[in-house]
Amino acid sequence: MSLEDYSRHINEFEGLLQKIATDITSGVIFERLPPTELWSKVEPLVTSFRSLAERITESMLILKPEKAVTIERSFKATVAPLESFKNVLFQKSGDPLDNSRIALEHLRKAMVKGSDLLQLAKSIKASPSEMIMKIIKFKEIYKTKDYISSIPVPEATYIRFVSLKKQIENLRFYMSGLERALEDLRVRLDAVQKEIARFRPSVTEATSEGESKKPREESSKGTFPSIAKQSSLPEF
């Protein structure tokens, strides 16, 4: 809700109230119309009148919650005759024109009570709740801030930006899938490394290899003394 909307609704309500009071309830022309014809002529005006009364009442309850009882009482006093106006028009009667006359009396009463509702709306507009006004102003400031923070661009540029944004989103999606695949590969490689680390030479192979080296070492040791003996023979 904004104060501009509230002011506009008050003006529309006042103009409609004056129109109904001047064109419909002040003369005797409409009293001579049968109920169905009378309803067809006034129904759009009465419906709009009630709708505006509801909007104004909702705004008043926001702007001046401490006056909720007074506001609701004034609203009910306005719409109750409107209901009676419609009900009387559609009542079965031996004198339909009498129904039209009685119904218009209820409509006149609705205009009187509507005038009281209008004055109440104007007084609340002039003196709303101080705390509520601060909240509304803060809300309007944030709306203005959001509006200013957005940068208008030509439509063709905007379409390109939208396309680029979509491409970036797709790329991020593919990158996410690639990251998951790489992570899965890393886990598998770690598992393979752990499996390889479990292997070691068997005991049988190590023993046989040691035994095969022994004869070679002993045979090598056996040749060295003969060479030493040969070197000790006298020369001729």
Check residues 147 and 104 and name the one with the higher pLDDT: 104
Q: If pLDDT is split at 50, 70 and 90, which confidence band does 144 have?
A: low
Asked if the model's pLDDT at residue 91 lies above 70, the reply is yes
**In the predicted structure, residue 111 carries a pLDDT above the cut 90:** yes
What was the pLDDT predicted at 150?
Answer: 60
What mean pLDDT do residues 153-159 have? 75
Cα–Cα distances in angstroms (integers) from residue 23 to residues 115, 117, 127, in the given order: 16, 20, 33
pLDDT band at 24 (very low <50, low <70, confident <90, very high): confident
DSSP for 167-205, please give it: HHHHHHHHHHHHHHHHHHHHHHHHHHHHHHHT----HHH
User: Is the four-CA dihedral 113, 115, 120, 121 of positive or negative sign?
Assistant: positive
3 state SS of 95: coil
Query: Higher model confidence: residue 157 or residue 224?
Result: 157
What is the per-residue pLDDT for 210? 55
Q: Which pair of tokens denotes residue 2?
A: 């904004």
Q: What is the DSSP letter of 16?
A: H
Task: Give, to the nearest 10 degrees, the angle between helix 68-89 and helix 35-63.
Answer: 170
Q: Are the CB atoms for 1 and 143 separated by under 8 Å? A: no
| Weakest mean pLDDT among 12-16, 204-208, 222-226 | 222-226
Asked if 39 and 106 count as a contact pair (C-beta separation under 8 A), the reply is no
Domain residue extents for the chain: 3-149, 153-209
Closest CA to 123 of 2, 4, 10: 10
Question: What is the residue-averaged pLDDT of the chain?
Answer: 81
More confident position, 232 or 100: 100
Which whole-number Å values give the CA distances from 173 to 29, 108, 151, in the listed order? 74, 68, 28
Average pLDDT of the segment spanning 188-196: 83
CA 133, CA 139: separation in Å to the nearest integer?
10
Which helix (H) or strand (E) is 53 found in, with range?
helix 35-63
Residue in this structure with the two tokens 């309500």, named with its chain if needed? 13
**Cβ–Cβ < 8 Å for 17, 111:** yes
**Alpha carbons 52 and 77: distance in angstroms, whole number:** 15
